[in-house]
Amino acid sequence: MAEKILVVGGGGREHAIIKALKKSPDCGEIWCAPGNGGISYDAKCKNIKATDVDTMVGFAVEEKFDYVVVAQDDPLALGMVDALAKVGIPAFGPDKAAARIEASKVFSKDLMKKYGIPTAKYETFDDPAKVMDYIRAEGKYPVVIKADGLALGKGVLICENEQQAADGVKEIMLDKKFGASGNHVVVEEFLTGPEVSVLSFTDGKVVKPMVSSMDHKRANDHDTGLNTGGMGTIAPNPCYTPELAQRCMDEIFLPTIAAMNAEGRTFTGCLYFGLMMTPKGPKVIEYNCRFGDPETQVVLPLLKSDLLTIMRATVDGTLADTPVEFASGAACCVVLASGGYPVSYKSGYPISGLDEAGKTATVFHAGTKLVDGQIVTAGGRVLGVTATADSLEAAIDKAYQAADKITFTDMHMRRDIGQRALASRKESHS
């Protein structure tokens, strides 16, 4: 039976989820709230803020949705899944108690310590003076300072010296750049090694990882410039070998699910593991309680199985019997951003070349609006251009060829997405 589905959110990740859901034979009418200009071609959009839990749930009841996918972190942390359950609408994503694994870095670090899950050495603080005393006493740089709560992926500072650390503490704890998220901070040792993102489906019993990916966080080429929400991704990540995948399953993935069950916070939905392959083995950098952005834009285009069936299985507890298969090729996503992102940028610029780019790649809309029949820019990250191919080299080439067909005023993209992965692969083969 065709199901009426609502996806909560309005970025590139949500667009990728909608395109994957539409492939399901059981997917009927699909809506997105708030959605964006580009999403409106694939789903009906309703302008409700993703964080407005009461209005969203009221809308879901009124429209009689069969299923809701809560894709964004803040509505999950606010308990949207719990509120939907109260009115009898099943939803993909963890409840409020389980979403805490992302909503509080202090909680997640303490969880890892308690259950012996490998992560960086750390301390937590609520007093700015004590933070600096600890950093001076440790005397190790770079040092990592993280705001405790949600900060749109930007509340992590890597400080190279005492001055930068002091400025960072001031920014997070005194100036409250991230609001209440900065009332507590985590200070942790700086880990080295290749980073790997692994998104996984779980019903609270089994974990089925998706294909691994590699994000490119910095704004400019060669990993320079400010941290962003992500400027591009590739999948699979070449440094994530089957041996490492097995270690992560045994030492990190299953122990995390077991730890959450033991705490009475059973996690269902998509659990994202941000990992570092250190010289001492895999360690957790962070957890997210939802699909990553822009990782989703390379992972879901490689999914062969039915996404709606998998999502349903995480709610019904039948994931063990549900196939989760991925294509053997590779994918690359190049993010087209507004000039000046992640600091200040202008928007409202018309975008051209979308149809042309869409002939050879998939264009996911992140920050766009539809004005008088014209798609215009409406955010920092505007589009994600994703191509799939048999090899990583071919996927990267295809993605850039398509991206180059798109233009808007002050458009900015990195030119080196995937190059680090290709270089690391050459090294391992030499």
The structure's pTM equals 0.94
**Which percentage of the chain shows pLDDT scores above 90?**
87
Integer Cα distance of 365 and 384 in angstroms: 6
Integer Cα distance of 125 and 134 in angstroms: 10
Neighbour tally for 279: CB within 10 Å = 7
Integer Cα distance of 38 and 370 in angstroms: 7
Q: Judging by beta carbons within 10 Å of its beta carbon (0-12, 13-18, 19+), is residue 88 exposed, middle or buried?
A: exposed
End-to-end CA distance of the chain: 53
Last residue of a domain, one of 189, 207, 228: 189
Which two tokens mark 218?
């910095």
pLDDT greater than 60 at residue 92? yes
Q: Tell me if 290 is assigned to some domain.
A: yes
Q: Which of 48-62, 180-194, 238-252, 374-388 has the lowest mean pLDDT?
A: 180-194
pLDDT digits (tens, 9 = 90+) for 183-229: 888 899 999 999 999 999 999 999 999 999 999 999 999 999 988 98
Q: Give the sign of the dihedral formed by CA 176, CA 183, CA 290, CA 82.
A: negative
Same domain for 296 and 178 = no
Which two tokens mark 256?
């995390």
Q: Tell me if 393 is assigned to some domain.
A: yes
CATH of the domain at 366: 3.30.470.20
Q: Running DSSP on this structure, what letter comes out for residue 326? A: B
Q: What pLDDT is attached to residue 154? A: 66
Task: Decide: 26 and 3 in contact? Cβ < 8 Å.
Answer: yes
Same domain for 350 and 258 = yes
pLDDT digits (tens, 9 = 90+) for 218-270: 999 999 998 898 999 999 999 999 999 999 999 999 999 999 999 999 999 99
Last residue of a domain, one of 189, 213, 248: 189
Same domain for 274 and 241 = yes
Which two tokens mark 147?
């705001």
pLDDT greater than 80 at residue 414? yes
Which two tokens mark 166?
């002091």
Same domain for 31 and 145 = no
Q: Which of 10-19, 76-85, 157-166, 295-304 has the lowest mean pLDDT?
A: 157-166
CATH of the domain at 131: 3.30.1490.20
109 CB-side CA count, 13 A? 21
Residue 365 CA, distance from chain mean position? 15
**Type of residue numbered 52:** D
Integer Cα distance of 322 and 57 in angstroms: 29
Same domain for 293 and 155 = no
Same domain for 312 and 425 = yes
Integer Cα distance of 145 and 109 in angstroms: 13
CA dihedral 359, 361, 362, 367 (to 10 degrees): -100
pLDDT greater than 80 at residue 152? no
Question: What is the average pLDDT score of the chain?
Answer: 95
Strands 330-338 and 381-389: antiparallel
Q: What contacts 323, CB < 8 A, 6 or more positions away? A: 305
- In 3D, which of 112, 117, 75, 125 has the Cα closest to residue 96? 75
Span 367-393, mean pLDDT?
A: 97
Task: Decide: 142 and 157 in contact? Cβ < 8 Å.
Answer: no
Q: What pLDDT is attached to residue 148? A: 85
Longest CA span, the chain: 63
Which two tokens mark 347?
């928007």
Q: What pLDDT is attached to residue 157? A: 86
Q: Residue 192 — φ and ψ, nearest 5°?
A: -120, 155
Task: Decide: 196 and 275 in contact? Cβ < 8 Å.
Answer: yes
Same domain for 282 and 422 = yes
- Integer CA distances (angstroms), 33 to 52, 84, 310, 386, in order: 10, 15, 22, 23
pLDDT greater than 60 at residue 334? yes
Q: What pLDDT is attached to residue 424? A: 81
Q: Tell me if 413 is assigned to some domain.
A: yes
Say if residue 142 is preceded by a cis peptide, omega within 30 of 0. yes
Same domain for 305 and 175 = no
pLDDT greater than 60 at residue 65? yes
Which two tokens mark 316?
């019904």
Last residue of a domain, one of 137, 167, 189: 189
Q: Tell me if 298 is assigned to some domain.
A: yes
Which two tokens mark 313?
């299985």
Beta strands in 279-373 (DSSP E): 281-288, 330-338, 362-365, 368-371
**Which percentage of the chain shows pLDDT scores above 70?**
98
Span 331-344, mean pLDDT?
A: 96
- H-assigned helices in 22-127: 53-62, 73-77, 80-86, 96-103, 105-115
153: confidence class by pLDDT, cuts 50, 70, 90: low
User: In which residue are the tokens 């996927």 written?
Assistant: 395
1: confidence class by pLDDT, cuts 50, 70, 90: confident
Domain count, the chain: 3
The domain containing residue 181 runs over which residues?
A: 121-189
Go through the chain and tell me how many residues it has.
430
pLDDT digits (tens, 9 = 90+) for 120-139: 999 989 988 899 999 999 99
Same domain for 218 and 136 = no
Which two tokens mark 361?
């790649």
Same domain for 153 and 8 = no
Same domain for 385 and 363 = yes
pLDDT greater than 90 at residue 363? yes
Q: Tell me if 112 is assigned to some domain.
A: no
Same domain for 200 and 184 = no
pLDDT greater than 70 at residue 430? no
